[in-house]
Structure 1
Amino acid sequence: MAEKELKSIITHLQSLKPNTLSTAPSLLSRAKLALLKLDALIPSPKTSPAHLELAQTVLELGAFTSIHLRDTDSFTRYYQYLQPFYSLQTGSKHGRGKKGGNREKVTGLYLLLLLSGGDYAGFHTVLEGLEGSGEESEFIAYPVRLEQALMEGSYDRVWGETKGERVPSEEFGVFSEVLINTIRSEIASCSERAYPSLPISNAKNLLFLDSEGAVVQFAQSRGWVAKDGRIWFPEQEAENAAAERDVVSASGAVIENTLGYARKLETIV
C-alpha cells in the first residue's frame, strides 16, 4: 500500500508546474512518511533496491523543488538525506543504490550554494570528498570555474558564467541572484576602500545593477551618499588608514580591472 501511494506521489510531483509548486512540500511530507513505512528513508542492508530507487527519486525531487522555492535550508537537508544513498552507489560491492540519478547535479548545486554563501572551506571539503568521482561533470566543473574566477577577483567572468548557455541547468540559474549579490557585496567593499567616490554610471555596470536608480537604492542600503551624479563613500578613519593601505592597493587593482569591463559594456551598449 505504501509503495503504491509513493509511486503515485512521485508521479504527481513530477507533473507539477511552476505555478503549483506550493503544493510540493505537503506531497513531499507524505512521500517521506511512506518511505518510513517502507523502512527506506534511511538506507539499511534490509532495504530493497526497488525501495532505494524510490527513496532517492523522492529526495532528489525534494532537493530540486527546494531550489525552485528558494528554500536553501530545505535543499541542504535533502542534500544530507541523499548522501547515504550516493555512498551506496560507490561503496557497495553489490551495486546497491540507484544507478545514474542526479548525484553530480545535486552535488554541484550544493557546491554553488556554499560558494554563494562565501563558505570556501566547506566548498573545498566537499570537492576533496569527491575523490575524482564526477569531477568531469559539467555540474561540478561549473561551480569550480566560478570559485576560481572569484579567487582571482575576475567578477566579470563570474557574471558571464551566470548568464546564458554556460549555466548547466535551470536549477543552477536560480542561484545566480544569490551569487551575484555575493559578488556585488565584494565589489562594494573593495570600492569603498579604494576610492572616495565613483560616477553613478560606472557604479551601475561595476555592481551589475540594471539602472542608476538601483545604484542609488543600493548605495543607501550601505550608508553611501548619492549626489551630483556620483556615489560618495564614507571617509576612512585616520587610525585605520595605515593598516588598510595595502588592502586599498590590492582592492584598487581589482576595481580597475572590473571598471575596465564596465567601460567596455558602456561602449557596447
Structure 2
Amino acid sequence: MSLESAQASLNNLNAKVESGDVEGGKEALSEMKILMLDFPGTEEFIKISASALELGVLLSVAEEDLDAFARNVAQLKSYYASLSSFSSGSTTPKKCHILGLNLMYLLVDNNLSEFHSELELLSSSEASTPFLSFPINLERQLMVGSYDEVLDAGTHVPDPSYSFFMDNLLQTVRDSIADCVEVSYKTMKINDAVGMMKFDSREDLYEYIKECRDDWITDDAKDELCFQPPSGGAKASDIPSKKLIAQTLSYATELERIV
C-alpha cells in the first residue's frame, strides 16, 4: 500500500470521528486495522497506525466501551515505543490527550499502582500539558481527601472526552462523601447536602438517594435528611474506658519495673 492511500484511509476515519459518527467510525477503524497488517515498519506508516488507534480510543470513549478502550491503548503503547526509537523522536499530535485519558481510566478503576507506573514514563514536558496535569492533580486531591476540589474539577475538563471518566469518578467521590456524612451527622438540611455533594438540584440528590442510599430518610416537614444509626455499632458508652485505663497503668508499671 502506498503512503498516500494509507493517509487517505486515516483521513476518512478522522472525518467519521470528528463528525460524531460512531458506527461509521467503527467500520472505518476495522478496515484500517486490516490495512495496518500490511504496513511496512517505516516511521511514516507507524505514525499513521498510531493515529488510527488514537482515533479508536476516542471512539471507545464516545461509545463508553471500556473494554475497547483498554484494547486500543494496549496496542498503542507498542507504536509509541516504536516511534520513540527513531532518532527524530517522532510522536503524534494526540499522544498527550490519549495518555491523559488512560490516566483517567486508571483513576476510575482505582488502579493506582499502574497509574504511578505510567507517570514514570512521562517526560516533564508531557506531564505539564493540560491533558496530563489534569488527572495528575486529581489523583493528588483524591489522596489528601480534597473532595470539594475534585467535584469542582468536573466543570473544568481539558476536553469533552474526559467527561465520561469524570462522571464515573464523581460518583465514587460522592459515595465517599455520603459515607462520611451518614456517620458524622444524625440529620442535615437538604440544601446543605445538595451543596456538599455538588448536585445541581434537590431532584438530583433525591435521585441519588433513591438509587444509592435508600436507608436515608427525607423529612419534608423539617426540610432535612435523617441518617439511620449504624446497626450493631459500638457507642462511646459501651467502651470500658475505666478498665482500659487501669490496664494501661498496670502495663506501664510492670514495664518500668522491668527496665
Cα deviation digits, residues 6-34 of structure 1 (max 9, x gap) = 43332122222554223211211111011
Q: 1:230 aligns with which of 203, 214, 224?
A: 224
Quick check: which has more Rg, 1 or 2?
2
Q: How far apart, in 2, do the equivalents of 1:87 and 1:196 lie?
A: 55
Q: 1:171 aligns with which of 161, 164, 167?
A: 161
Unaligned runs of 5+ in 1: 41-46, 246-269
Q: For 1:8-19, what aligned pairs fall within 5 Å after superposition?
A: 8-16=8-16, 17-19=18-20
Q: 1:60 aligns with which of 41, 54, 60?
A: 54
Q: How far apart, in 2, do the equivalents of 1:104 and 1:240 lie?
A: 50
Say which is worse superposed, 124-133 or 67-76, in terms of deviation.
Answer: 124-133
SS at match of 2:225: strand
Q: Call closer, same or farther: CA 1:215–1:170 in 2, change over 3 Å.
A: closer
Q: 1:189 aligns with which of 175, 179, 185?
A: 179
Runs of 4+ in 1 over 4 A off after TM superposition: 1-5
Matched, 1:99 2:100: no
Q: How far apart, in 1, do the equivalents of 2:227 and 2:107 lie?
A: 27
Kept in 2, the 8 Å contact 1:88–1:97? The answer is: no
SS at match of 1:148: helix
**TM-score normalized by structure 1?**
0.76
Deviation at 1:68, TM superposition (A): 2.1
Q: For 1:1-269, what aligned pairs fall within 5 Å after superposition?
A: 1=1, 6-16=6-16, 17-38=18-39, 47-90=41-84, 92=85, 94-95=86-87, 98-130=90-122, 132=124, 134-164=126-156, 167-221=157-211, 222-223=213-214, 224-228=216-220, 229-239=223-233
Kept in 1, the 8 Å contact 2:53–2:72? The answer is: yes
Deviation at 1:203, TM superposition (A): 1.3
Q: How far apart, in 2, do the equivalents of 1:106 and 1:187 lie?
A: 30
Q: How many corresponding residue pairs?
A: 232
Cα deviation digits, residues 153-179 of structure 1 (max 9, x gap) = 222212232214xx3223223432222
Q: How far apart, in 2, do the equivalents of 1:106 and 1:14 lie?
A: 15
| Relative contact order higher in (CA < 8 Å, ≥ 6 apart) | 1
Q: How far apart, in 1, do the equivalents of 2:9 and 2:179 lie?
A: 47
Cα deviation digits, residues 27-57 of structure 1 (max 9, x gap) = 111110111133x6xxxxxx12222111111
Q: How far apart, in 1, do the equivalents of 2:233 and 2:209 lie?
A: 25
Deviation at 1:128, TM superposition (A): 2.6
Q: How far apart, in 2, do the equivalents of 1:87 and 1:127 lie?
A: 15
Q: How far apart, in 2, do the equivalents of 1:114 and 1:241 lie?
A: 38
Q: Call closer, same or farther: CA 1:100–1:31 in 2, change over 3 Å.
A: closer
Identity fraction in percent: 26
SS at match of 1:37: coil
Deviation at 1:133, TM superposition (A): 6.5
SS at match of 2:126: coil
Kept in 2, the 8 Å contact 1:197–1:232? The answer is: yes
Q: How far apart, in 1, do the equivalents of 2:26 and 2:90 lie?
A: 23
Q: How far apart, in 1, do the equivalents of 2:146 and 2:231 lie?
A: 29
Q: How far apart, in 2, do the equivalents of 1:117 and 1:8 lie?
A: 36
**TM-score normalized by structure 2?**
0.79
Q: How far apart, in 2, do the equivalents of 1:105 and 1:147 lie?
A: 17
Q: How far apart, in 2, do the equivalents of 1:238 and 1:103 lie?
A: 52
Kept in 2, the 8 Å contact 1:52–1:97? The answer is: no
